[in-house]
Amino acid sequence: MSFFNSIGRSMARAPRPPKRSTTPTSSSFPSTESLPNTPTTPSAPKPLYLCSPFVEAALVKGNFKHIVMLPKYADVMEWVAVNIFDFYQNLNQFYGVLAECCTQQSCPTMTAGPALNYTWINQDRKSVQLPAPTYIDYVMTWVQNLLDDDNVFPTKSGREFSQTFPSTVKHVYRQLLRVFAHLYHAHYPQILHLRSEPHFNSLFAHFLAFGKEYELLDIKDVKGQPGIPVGIGALWERWKEMGILES
């Protein structure tokens, strides 16, 4: 058994913070963005996460290139698996703290930009609007179930990763990105209130750098479509200018 396998095995038993529904009602991914009914005015104020000093706040100084590099002798699948496990755990903990601010009333849709709502594809293949906490609950439950599934994230020695692992982790990445995108867009004041912006920024920059390095991220998902930008797309650009991310 490898080092990473043993980590995966022990951490997989870690208790999971709050309230999750047992099964998402949708098993189908990916969901798609919906076009807004009304165009928004382009004169919205600059989001706080793009403003100094918050945009520079970080636990990790410098570029993430070295952190994401494949360690010598590590298998790339295992490296991806263990990192996704960590990203999920960390994001889940942040969400656990922010969940009281993310309610059906405060977030009736899964927003991620001034003109962007993510929709969920339900069992009938229909794209539906969900309140953000419901959407996020579905995502986190879905990812947790995958992580617990030894056929997807093998933890026993001698077990191979399936051929669908790369496409599965891309779906996971896309959905976790949406959770980040919502938290930045809708809950950054609360992150600041908790003084968690250095930690949250470093987690997200690490997530972006890792996703880019292993081609788990679709840049279209980070930046959005013309006229329907994802809020965090500007953060991605800013961090590239600052040298935090590779350009």
Q: Known binding site: residues?
A: 102, 107, 182, 187
User: Does 191 contact Zn ion by CB under 5 A?
Assistant: no
Q: Is residue 29 within 8 Å of residue 125, measured between CB atoms?
A: no
CA 165, chain centre distance (Å): 18
> How does DSSP assign 53-117, residue by residue?
TGGG--SS-S-SHHHHSPPTT--HHHHHHHHHHHHHHHHHHHHHHHGGGS-TTT-SSEEEETTEE
Mind giving me the DSSP string for 24-39?
-S-------EE--SSP
- Measured from the CB atom, the residue of 68 and 102 that comes closer to Zn ion is 102
What gap in Å lies between CA 172 and CA 165, rounded to an integer? 10
CB closer to Zn ion out of 58 and 107: 107
| Binds Zn ion (CB under 5 A): choice among 55, 84, 130, 132 | 132
For position 139 contacting Zn ion by CB under 5 A, the verdict is: no
Q: Which of residues 170-189 bind Zn ion (CB under 5 A)?
A: 186
- Whichever of 63 and 190 has its CB closer to Zn ion, that residue is 190
> Of 100-108, 148-156, 200-208, 233-241, which segment contacts Zn ion by CB under 5 A?
100-108
Q: How many residues bind Zn ion (CB under 5 A)?
A: 4
Residues near Zn ion (CB under 5 A) are: 102, 107, 132, 186
